[in-house]
Amino acid sequence: MPDYSLEDIVSLAKRRGFVYSTSEIYGGLTSSYDYGPLGAQLLKNIKDAWWTEFITKREDMVGLDSQIMLHPQTWVASGHVGSFSDPLVEDTKNHKRYRADHIIESWIEQHPGAVDHSFSVEDLSIAEMDLFISDHGVLSPDGNTLSEAKDFNLLFKTGIGAVSGEKDTVYLRGETAQGIFSNFKQITDSTRVTLPFGVGQVGKSFRNEITTGQFVFRTLEFEQAEIEYFFNPEESDWRALFSDWKEAMWQFVTHTLGVREDNIRWRQHTDAERSFYSKDTYDLDYHFPFGWKELWGIAYRTDYDLRQHMQHSGQSLEYRDPHAGEVFVPHVIEPAVGINRLLLMVLCDAYWFDAERHRTVLKLSSNLAPYQAAVFPLMKNKPDLVTKARAVFATLLQSGVRVTWDDRGNIGKRYLYQDEVGTPSCITIDFETLENDTVTIRDRDSTEQERMPISDLQHVFNIKG
């Protein structure tokens, strides 16, 4: 297990303006969080990195921004109205609700050796979960008996219609993917894309989750980033495409987001766990302080989704090959991730208590850190120092560097604050600066300071002249 707890992350996130609980002045709202000034920037940096890596930098990808509320038939076609549900059990005394699979998993954890090693809770049907609960006398976390499990649909419903009584039920999207499928024909008709190509979308999704208390790992409202990669199964080898996408996901996490390889792993879904239409599904798991958990899923979904929408809309979503003239329904590979889960991973992976120097550090990479640099005048009551520091600050700010100003308290305290919010470099303007136009630049992780001419900052921050 990691040597820090989820509470350490929650506390730092709140203390330093990354994540607040929603509507705190009213007592909060279950599984809902707001992103403070630093968290909003970090979230945006992760989202931008995803978009740049998977849309902008690839010639075989395009972006999309579809609505949160789609035609309700979309969710009938996708199967969400019928079966997008979690198994719910209720404490018969205090009526608290839990996910049956989670209750069983934690019972197994607390009773090592009680069940066969190869046993997987994910594979159980609702009836089998009920049987497990009664056979093993599984109780609620408060020690009370549990109700029978039932399917609980995760889609949020709302209504449209100006005149009361004429409301039409619509759903807040449970995933972003369906907007991609329903726009498939418009995309191929209105752009020059040819197979294989993918469509990516990032935006809010909503799920009426039963499980609470996992901070931003699982929330009712979250930012999802999904890709549907369409191809002709006669021409492209799905195994090769699938493994290319797995590699791209791995690279994004380790290289772009700078997460340690030791903390991620692949987990293949079992036959029982996988959706019936999927030929292969993997989760990329991260080692969170509460265990190895799914970060990012990838599934080969065949032509299931497009066919479902063809059947329910009566429209053709076939693709005509511009060269061979062949007409067919493309197959699809779907890598789907939550940006907020990526953010939680990034915070966890960057969290470091430096026992030697007794400080907490967020070792965020410079492309993600809310601030890439902080500028300090050594003393705030020396106008010459402040004027000089302001000039350095303004230059960096205008060059697009994410830079912050701090003149409160002594330099040591300012360093500690910037370490905790993950600012990689602190630039101090001191009396020597006034003599020879040099500054000190302090490295967050090593705490080493280097003296350099102000003009060299241009190279440090990659500023084009």
Nearer to ligand ATP (CB atom), residue 91 or residue 175: 175
- 7-15 CB contacts, 8 Å cutoff, 24+ apart: 8/289, 8/351, 8/353, 9/215, 9/289, 9/344, 9/347, 9/348, 9/351, 10/215, 12/347, 12/351, 12/360, 12/362, 12/420, 13/39, 13/215, 13/347, 15/420
CB 323 within 8 A of CB 338: no
The 10 Å CB-count burial string (b at 16+, else e) for 127-164 is: eebbebbeeeebebeeeeebbebeebbbbeeeeeeeee
- Count other Cβ atoms within 10 Å, centred on residue 194: 13
Q: How far is the CB of 214 from ligand ATP (least distance, A)?
A: 9
Q: How far is the CB of 83 from ligand ATP (least distance, A)?
A: 12
User: For binding to ligand ATP (CB under 6 A), which residues are involved?
Assistant: 175, 207, 209, 218-219, 222, 224, 294-297, 336-338, 340-341
Nearer to ligand ATP (CB atom), residue 41 or residue 224: 224
Q: What torsion, rounded to 10 degrees, do the Cα atoms 231, 233, 239, 245 define? A: 10
Q: How far is the CB of 182 from ligand ATP (least distance, A)?
A: 18
Q: Which two tokens stand for residue 51?
A: 């978009």
CB 103 within 8 A of CB 212: no
Q: How far is the CB of 373 from ligand ATP (least distance, A)?
A: 31
Q: Which two tokens stand for residue 308?
A: 């479902």
Nearer to ligand ATP (CB atom), residue 38 or residue 337: 337
Q: What torsion, rounded to 10 degrees, do the Cα atoms 101, 104, 110, 115 define? A: -120
Q: How far is the CB of 200 from ligand ATP (least distance, A)?
A: 13
Q: How far is the CB of 177 from ligand ATP (least distance, A)?
A: 9
Q: How far is the CB of 13 from ligand ATP (least distance, A)?
A: 15
Q: How far is the CB of 5 from ligand ATP (least distance, A)?
A: 20
Nearer to ligand ATP (CB atom), residue 179 or residue 297: 297
Q: How far is the CB of 341 from ligand ATP (least distance, A)?
A: 4
Nearer to ligand ATP (CB atom), residue 284 or residue 350: 284
Nearer to ligand ATP (CB atom), residue 87 or residue 297: 297
Nearer to ligand ATP (CB atom), residue 297 or residue 377: 297
Q: CA separation (Å) from 54 to 48, 64, 197, 228, 379? A: 10, 12, 12, 11, 45
Q: How far is CA 418 from the centre of its chain?
A: 24
DSSP β-ladder status, 156-160 and 168-172:
antiparallel
Q: How far is the CB of 438 from ligand ATP (least distance, A)?
A: 46
Nearer to ligand ATP (CB atom), residue 345 or residue 396: 345
Nearer to ligand ATP (CB atom), residue 226 or residue 420: 226
Q: How many helices (H) and strands (E) does the chain have?
A: 15, 23
End-to-end CA distance of the chain: 47
Nearer to ligand ATP (CB atom), residue 308 or residue 366: 308
Find the residue with minimal CB distance to ligand ATP.
338
Q: Is 169 helix (H, G, I), strand (E, B) or coil?
A: strand
User: Residues with Cβ < 8 Å from 102, sequence gap 6 or more?
Assistant: 211
Q: Which two tokens stand for residue 189?
A: 């008709």
